[in-house]
Chains A and B, each alone.
Chain A
Amino acid sequence: MEKSLSWREFIITRLIQGAGYSAIVFVGLIFFFLLREGLPALGDVDITSLLSVRWYPIEDYFGILPLITGSLIITLGAALIAVPFGIGAAVYISEIAPRWMREILKPLVELLGGLPSVVLGFLGILVLSPYIRVFLNLPTGLTAFTGSLLLGGIAVPTIVSVAEDALDSVPRAYREGAWALGATKWQTIWRVTLPAAKSGVLTAVMLGIGRAIGETMTVMMVTGNAPVLATKLGSIFSPVRTMTATIAAEMGEVANGSAHYHVLFFIGMMLFLISLAVNIIASSVVFRAKKRAERILS
């Protein structure tokens, strides 16, 4: 009895430990398979044509530059929308809203995070883009700007929830100290609470932007998918095509093992590395801040 119990305990402990380490295994596997299918692209296509401005795979033009600028311009637009609104909403929920309001707003923002991106893309095509075409007097409503607007909406819940957490974890004594010195609530928010939560808010912004770069279905549906190099800011009102949308739109139709197939995996590898960088930087910012907080408290 004793013995079988300790054996079971041993096996279960090992299984749980294995599950704990699985996350590392999966990240490794994902990277391995992206490298395995993506790196041959460098053999199939030379570097100079990979870095050219023409993406036309049917005639073997694999210039990924327009896709990169497409992703960048849309993400930049999304960040310009999502960062102020996300932080504003987080400040409102954490610092200003009465309790009952907070109980309504938090689940709603979470709900926005759960809305399938394909539904947002669908509404983007049917509702948003016709308005944009008419209001801005454009030949088509399917533009980078349309994508940015919707992506902003997708990045907002991430920013709000992470930033709100950060504001919430600022010790109440900081605020009370500021109030006792005669600061208004508004001054306290700007000069005490937000600066104290700075690193968490920064993490929120980075994670939100990471979310926007990686978003696929919405941008594929509403940005018009024209692989044109975005050279000036005005490009935001014309159709573009992103890295994610290119993979999603073309992977279904390529022959396994062809140059086109390898290049699409190569783009996926780049996206993986971008998200890796964003997340490592974002979490190291948190680590540093935590250490500093510990030093302050001890």
Chain B
Amino acid sequence: MMTKFLSRNRHAVQRLGFVAITLMAIVTVLPIVGTILFIIYKGGSAISWEFLSGFPHDGMRAGGIFPAIVGTLYLTLGTAVFSVPLGIAAAIYLAEYAKDNQWTRLIRLAIINLAGIPSVVYGLFGLGLFVLFLKFGTSILAASLTLSIMTLPVIISASEEALRTVPQAFRTVSISLGATRWQTIRKIILKEALPGILTGVILGLERAAGETAPILFTGAAFFLPRLPNSPFDATMALPYHLFVISTQVPEMPIQIQYGTALVLLAFVLTMNVIATVIRSRARARRQW
């Protein structure tokens, strides 16, 4: 009797269930779109040439955010300098050289753990090692190094996955033609895996560009009247600047806050879109 009831209604249950799950997916995604449109709507009117190219003045309540934009560029590039070569090399090791043994499993566990460490703990570590122990001071160098270790797991995992999708036949043929292992990797495998690696690198750097907590005590400056001159200077940065003007400065014009949020969002979204486009293009073009 019960099973009969269930079986007669199971299609109704399915319809109801599908509607519920679809609604949940919509509720999950809608706020993302809403957030982005809202910030574009609110911040759009603040964007002007002076805002993008000027220095802040009147206690940051007027003027532009140029030093913060430049600072975020510096930090992102600084992060790339350290994390890209190291991350790709580590991925090559895992995909091409590593045997399946205890050590390799330990490396994988370490990567998973690096990915899970809270960003503020990276900040503490950067303060302890780079700022105080190695005496780099609060500087672009210390902040970039801290951010690079944080982005490393993203770059390693994405690059390893990209390297692994290159078919084994490519390696066999290259080696059989007399190429060494490294020649094969450099001339064949890396070339084929490049779009995937690039996607991972950009997604990793995107995360670094938007982070605040790791640079709080390693390189971020509240306000600087000039641009940093060397890697040993502290710098303003967009995410930290947004934090400062939305919590630490009383009577801050709302316009500038939304404008800063929009510029940061544009920075991050551009990187995200580039990564997505590279990936989908590579997928469409792939012939193996």
Contact = CB atoms under 8 A, between A and B. Distances in A.
B44 interface: no
B93 A16 contact: yes
Nearest to B30: A108
B153 interface: yes
B162 interface: no
Nearest to B95: A20
A264 interface: yes
A90 B117 CA distance: 24
B191 to A, nearest CB: 17
B243 A221 contact: yes
B21 A88 contact: yes
Given A29-B125, A248-B120, A251-B217, A118 B97 contact: no
> Which label, helix, strand, loop or mixed, suits the secondary structure of the A interface?
helix
Given A92-B22, A114-B207, A125-B247, A272 B117 contact: yes
Interface stretch (B55-63, B227-235, B262-270): B262-270
A23 B129 contact: no
A92 B210 CA distance: 29
B116 A278 contact: yes
Interface residues of B, number: 87
A143 interface: no
B21 A92 contact: yes
Contacts of A109: 28-29, 32
Nearest to A225: B247
A114 B210 contact: yes
Interface in B154-168: 156
Given A118-B242, A186-B10, A217-B212, 5 more contacts: A13-B97, A22-B152, A92-B25, A114-B272, A275-B118
Interface of A: 5-6, 8-9, 12-13, 15-17, 19-24, 26-27, 29-30, 33-34, 36-37, 84-86, 88-89, 91-93, 96-97, 105, 107-112, 114-123, 125-127, 153, 156, 160, 184-187, 207, 210-211, 213-217, 221, 244, 247-248, 251-252, 256, 264-265, 268, 271-272, 275-276, 278-280, 282-283
Interface of B: 10-11, 13-14, 17-18, 20-22, 24-25, 27-29, 31-33, 35-36, 38-39, 86, 89-90, 92-94, 97-98, 103, 106-125, 127-129, 132-133, 149, 152-153, 156, 180-182, 203, 206-207, 209-213, 216-217, 239-240, 242-243, 246-247, 254, 257, 261, 264-265, 268-269, 272, 276
